[in-house]
A and B are shown apart, each in its own frame.
Chain A
Amino acid sequence: MDRISQIYNDEKLLKKLYDDPNIAIEDALENEMVINMGPQHPATHGVLRLVLRLDGETVMNIVPELGYLHRGYEKMAENMSYIEYIPHTDRLDYTGTMCNNVAYVLAVEKLAGIEAPKRAQYIRMIVSELSRIAAHLVAIGTFAMDVGAVTMVMWTFREREKINNIFDRLAGARFTTSYTRIGGVASDIDSETIAMTQQFLEELGLALVEMDKLVLSNRIFIERLEEIGILPKEDAIALGVTGPNLRASGVEYDVRRAKPYLYYNEIDFRIPTFTEGDCLARYFQRGDEVKESAKILKQCLDKMPQGEVIANDPKRVLSYKTEIYSKMEELIHDFMIINQGINPPVGDTYFSVENPKGELGFYIVSNGTGNPWKLKINSPSFCNLQAISQICKGAMVSDVVAIIGSLDPVMGEADK
């Protein structure tokens, strides 16, 4: 207290400081500043709010505050039929919409015991991988933009645009696709879409080389990211970090390999990992995963069998509209499914897939009616954000921005 009065020997000023509820004098003496980053901030990828305690420019402490984009999707699911909920999964991780669609539909199929035809499963793999590429491109681009390389984001969005065009042909929507159905997919993939995908893959290889040239031959970019925000292997596991961020820390865990779903066990692919666990490793990780996804896509396009794209199970799977309008049986089943739902048996199930951001899981409890009794989403962005307060300590303000970019949270998913 004496020290305070020594510094502020002006009594009026001192009184004013004591009376002011917004200023803690001890904090002022410690030369620390509390700064609020977000929810409206260009670098926090949506509405993430971080409260930083700064000493100069060094971060002493950081507290993430979530929930600004909370829309109650878990609760909403309880008042919807299983089919109605599909469009809402688009809005979780809005950079990789198809992956969410696939994840949810697979969870429901597991619960209800429906098996989609093989061609539909392959199409789901194709759209998942396309979506993964799109999400990683956005992640790489915005990450580079956070570090200051603004041109990168335009180049990655240029490539992503081609994926959006493919989705436009396939699902009728570029962004919020809602493409999958319980028991299959909404429409078959035609030869022109396949040609578009093949052409995209050819161009992607060249574009990735070009992007690497722009940033990786650049010493500033490397120096900004190397040994920044290091997340050691043990901490990554303890904090529950998933996806590319986990693999960049050296843990070779990928749901596609650990618990194969769809037909990933028929596909030959590598799980890229890095051991450094810093921002640069997380950048490389995503670049490598894009290349692997391209490899998976090529194999899927080769191996995709002919056949139906929706299961023939009229009591639980919606038929094609043409059949509904022309046949009595189908019309009745359609009416029943729309009004009462698919009524899976009583029980619960958890199903997780590898999403661009990490392991996305759906836990569904059914009480035998048309609506889920409880639906819980295990969202990877939320898990990844756990790590932020640990790895940002001791970094600088500029590093915080780079770290958020490298963790790549999507708030739509973290806040649900």
Chain B
Amino acid sequence: MYQFLFNLSGSEIIATIFTAAVILVFILLFVLFAVWFERKVSAHMQDRLGPMRVGWHGVLQTIADFVKMLQKEDIIATEADRKLYTIAPVLVFTGSFAAYAAIPFSSKLLGSEVEVGIFYLLAVSSFVVAGILMAGWSSNNKYSLLGAMRSAAQIVSYEIPTALVVLSIVMLTGTLSLEKISQLQTAYFWNWNIFGGPEFSLAKFLLIPFMFVGFLIIYISTLAEVNRTPFDIPEAESELVAGYFTEYCGMKWAMFMLSEYANMFAVSAIVTILFFGGYQSPFGYLGNSIGAEWLVPFEQAFWFIAKGIFFVFVQMWLRWTLPRLRVDQLMTVCWKYLIPYAFLNLIIVGFISLL
């Protein structure tokens, strides 16, 4: 994408801006969809209909809400730290937006081909913690502060199992580039990393159970990283009102929601790339078989987004089914279960890939 635009315009700046704009538009569209989708999923799980008035089955509800949000008065409490309070939502969104730069939507639609893509993703996604802490501190509200502290502890802890699982994939594939990890899992779905990778050998079959364990660990810890139920204690509605964004309203609040939903897709994308073949189709491309090569990247983008949305759906499904953990239990899950298992998994995967 970037390369194509660069060739077309001959200017780095224009190419960068356009690529960023395409991704931003994708995020906004996705969030518009995801908010509506979440409300529909929750409604149907609870014997309700959800939004029905605005547009067909309420599809335009999010737009109506967005317009309402734009009209809201921007209230800043007198005792709040104005500067940090204003920067915080922007910073949080920057963290999740920056993560999209390295995510390969298809072999052509890729913001920036970073060689250390997965490393970059892990680094940038922890940027969000700073924003959350800022929001909690600057609001000058005890509930916000409690939420922010919980969130910081949680995100920092859960990055460790995530990183350990990522390491096992890196050992298997021998690359940090998200693009290359996706490319390796080409052709049919049994070449995906969850099924032991593309190489057909004994190691592939030995790897399958450990890859499933790895997938479960990373999925659980990414749930915690995006503060979704059962790990939504930073914004635990019934305890902390709304956690670190209790004091926010209007567009600033909308920025937090935007980054939350953007993060949901980003972590789903990571899981998809690492374990479920990234943008690769599970059974070949229509474009290749009818001889229309230009169709392939679009198909890839379709598969990538479809897989991502499926994992987002699972996140929503969990949210409306599970209760919420307590703070100490949350830490127990991470430090006593996930990290030792992730370590063990890492060692075993290492040995198997030596075979």
Instruction: List the interface of chain A (C-beta within 8 A of B).
Output: 33, 35-36, 41-43, 57, 144-151, 154-155, 158, 214-215, 218, 220-221, 223-224, 396-399, 401
Q: Which of chain A's residues have a CB closer than 8 A to the CB of B240?
A: 397
Q: In the complex, how many angstroms separate the beta carbon of A16 from the nearest chain B beta carbon? A: 14
Q: Which of chain A's residues have a CB closer than 8 A to the CB of B68?
A: none
Instruction: Other than A42-B238, A397-B146, give 9 A-B pairs with Cβ distance below 8 A.
Output: A43-B239, A57-B146, A148-B230, A150-B320, A151-B320, A154-B46, A155-B46, A220-B230, A398-B327
Write 5 A-B pairs (CB below 8 A) sorted by A numbering: A36-B142, A144-B323, A151-B46, A221-B323, A397-B146
Q: Which of chain A's residues have a CB closer than 8 A to the CB of B123?
A: none
Rounded to whole angstroms, the CA-CA distance of A150 and B45 in the bound complex is 10
Rounded to whole angstroms, the CA-CA distance of A397 and B233 in the bound complex is 11
Residue of chain B at shortest CB distance from A223: B329
Contact A158 B47 (CB under 8 A): yes
User: A398 and B236 in contact (CB under 8 A), knowing A148-B322, A218-B322?
Assistant: yes
Rounded to whole angstroms, the CA-CA distance of A224 and B42 in the bound complex is 23
Q: Which of chain A's residues have a CB closer than 8 A to the CB of B293?
A: none
Interface residues of B in 112-169 (CB under 8 A from A): 142-143, 146
Contact A224 B323 (CB under 8 A): yes
Contact B237 A42 (CB under 8 A): yes
Question: Residues 300-327 of chain B: 1 if any A CB is under 8 Å from the residue's CB, otherwise 0?
Answer: 0000000000000000000011111111
Interface size on B, residues (CB 8 A): 28
B232 at the interface (CB under 8 A from A): yes
Contact B323 A215 (CB under 8 A): yes
Q: In the complex, how many angstroms separate the beta carbon of B309 from the nearest chain A beta carbon? A: 21
Rounded to whole angstroms, the CA-CA distance of A146 and B326 in the bound complex is 12
Q: In the complex, how many angstroms separate the beta carbon of B189 from the nearest chain A beta carbon? A: 31
B241 at the interface (CB under 8 A from A): yes
Interface residues of B in 209-242 (CB under 8 A from A): 229-230, 232-233, 236-241
Contact B239 A218 (CB under 8 A): no
B48 at the interface (CB under 8 A from A): yes
B328 at the interface (CB under 8 A from A): yes
Residue of chain A at shortest CB distance from B232: A148
User: A148 and B236 in contact (CB under 8 A), knowing A220-B322, A399-B326?
Assistant: yes
Q: Which of chain A's residues have a CB closer than 8 A to the CB of B146?
A: 35, 57, 397
Contact B325 A33 (CB under 8 A): no
Rounded to whole angstroms, the CA-CA distance of A261 and B324 in the bound complex is 42
Q: Which of A215, A224, A397 has the most CB of B within 10 A?
A: A397
Rounded to whole angstroms, the CA-CA distance of A144 and B232 in the bound complex is 15
Rounded to whole angstroms, the CA-CA distance of A220 and B321 in the bound complex is 11
The 10 closest A-B pairs by CB, nearest first: A148-B324, A154-B46, A148-B323, A43-B238, A149-B323, A398-B326, A147-B323, A146-B238, A221-B323, A35-B142
Rounded to whole angstroms, the CA-CA distance of A221 and B229 in the bound complex is 13
Contact A151 B321 (CB under 8 A): yes
Contact A155 B47 (CB under 8 A): yes
Q: Which of chain B's residues have a CB closer than 8 A to the CB of A401?
A: 238-239
Q: In the complex, how many angstroms separate the beta carbon of A44 from the nearest chain B beta carbon? A: 9
Question: Residues 185-203 of chain B: 1 if any A CB is under 8 Å from the residue's CB, otherwise 0?
Answer: 0000000000000000000
Q: In the complex, how many angstroms separate the beta carbon of A289 from the nearest chain B beta carbon? A: 22
Residue of chain B at shortest CB distance from A144: B323
Within 8 Å by CB of A398, from B48, B239, B320, B321, lies B239
Q: Which of A36, A150, A221 has the most CB of B within 10 A?
A: A150
Q: Which of chain B's residues have a CB closer than 8 A to the CB of A214?
A: 321
Rounded to whole angstroms, the CA-CA distance of A145 and B230 in the bound complex is 13
Q: In the complex, how many angstroms separate the beta carbon of B320 from the nearest chain A beta carbon? A: 5
Rounded to whole angstroms, the CA-CA distance of A57 and B145 in the bound complex is 12
Q: Which of chain B's residues have a CB closer than 8 A to the CB of A150?
A: 42, 46, 320
User: A151 and B238 in contact (CB under 8 A), knowing A35-B142, A57-B327, A398-B233?
Assistant: no
Rounded to whole angstroms, the CA-CA distance of A57 and B331 in the bound complex is 13
Q: In the complex, how many angstroms separate the beta carbon of A40 from the nearest chain B beta carbon? A: 9
Q: Which of chain A's residues have a CB closer than 8 A to the CB of B320?
A: 150-151
Rounded to whole angstroms, the CA-CA distance of A157 and B69 in the bound complex is 30
Q: Which of chain B's residues have a CB closer than 8 A to the CB of A221?
A: 323
Rounded to whole angstroms, the CA-CA distance of A117 and B196 in the bound complex is 77
Q: Which of A33, A148, A154 has the most CB of B within 10 A?
A: A148
User: A396 and B324 in contact (CB under 8 A), knowing A146-B238, A148-B236, A151-B46?
Assistant: no
Q: In the complex, how many angstroms separate the beta carbon of B11 from the nearest chain A beta carbon? A: 50
Residue of chain B at shortest CB distance from A35: B142
Q: In the complex, how many angstroms separate the beta carbon of B247 from the nearest chain A beta carbon? A: 14
